[in-house]
Amino acid sequence: MSAIDYIKGDATQPVGTGNKIIVHICNDIGRWGKGFVLAVSARWPEPEKQYRTWYADATNFALGQAQFVKVTSNIWVANVIGQHKIVKGKGGIPPIRYEAVQEGLRMVSSFALENNATVHMPRIGCGLAGGTWDKIEPIIIEELLNKGVAVTVYDFA
């Protein structure tokens, strides 16, 4: 793979054929209700339901973990825990945790390779989580592209 494919569109309607994984970033406090998750929930109730159950169970619910929720015969939503809380911390530190995003994308890469799937996402971690694309993009390249997983990033039209 040479580069991330950037397109205008809706990441909840991934393009192409074959198996697909829609990746997004979740927080570590069980909150679901702002940002890209609203588009996910509008399309499929299961990712939110399973995220909330995962949080309540607390089994492997931690920064850097990923949960894969099958929503159609060939699409999964990956709930990646890459955000600590939902507001800036002391010193104005944003909720994004780049190391956790990297760990989560490592899990996404393994899952994608096992399921012969492509990865689709908005500009993860750069909205409410407060991250910057210049830090997220190299992580995507290292953990997905360099391991042979095709990635499409959607900028909402």
Question: What is the pLDDT averaged over residues 65-80?
Answer: 98
Residue 79 near residue 31, CB atoms below 8 Å: no
pLDDT band (50, 70, 90) for residue 157: confident
E strand or H helix at 138, and its extent? helix 133-143
Per residue in 127-151, pLDDT tens?
999 999 999 999 999 999 999 999 9
Per residue in 42-56, pLDDT tens?
999 999 999 999 999
CATH code, 118: 3.40.220.10
pLDDT at residue 1, as a whole number: 58
Of the listed ranges 17-21, 66-70, 90-94, 95-99, the least confidently predicted one is: 90-94
Question: What is the pLDDT averaged over residues 5-34?
Answer: 97
Residue 122 near residue 35, CB atoms below 8 Å: no
Q: What is the residue-averaged pLDDT of the chain?
A: 96
Residue 4 near residue 146, CB atoms below 8 Å: no
Contacts of 83 (CB under 8 A, 6+ apart): 25, 26, 27, 28, 95, 96, 97, 100, 125, 128, 129
Residue 46 near residue 40, CB atoms below 8 Å: no
- Range list of H helices, 32-147: 36-43, 46-57, 98-114, 133-143
Question: What is the pLDDT averaged over residues 21-44?
Answer: 97
Total structural domains within the chain: 1
Cα 70 to Cα 47: distance, rounded to the nearest angstrom = 8
Domain residues for the domain of 87 are 5-155
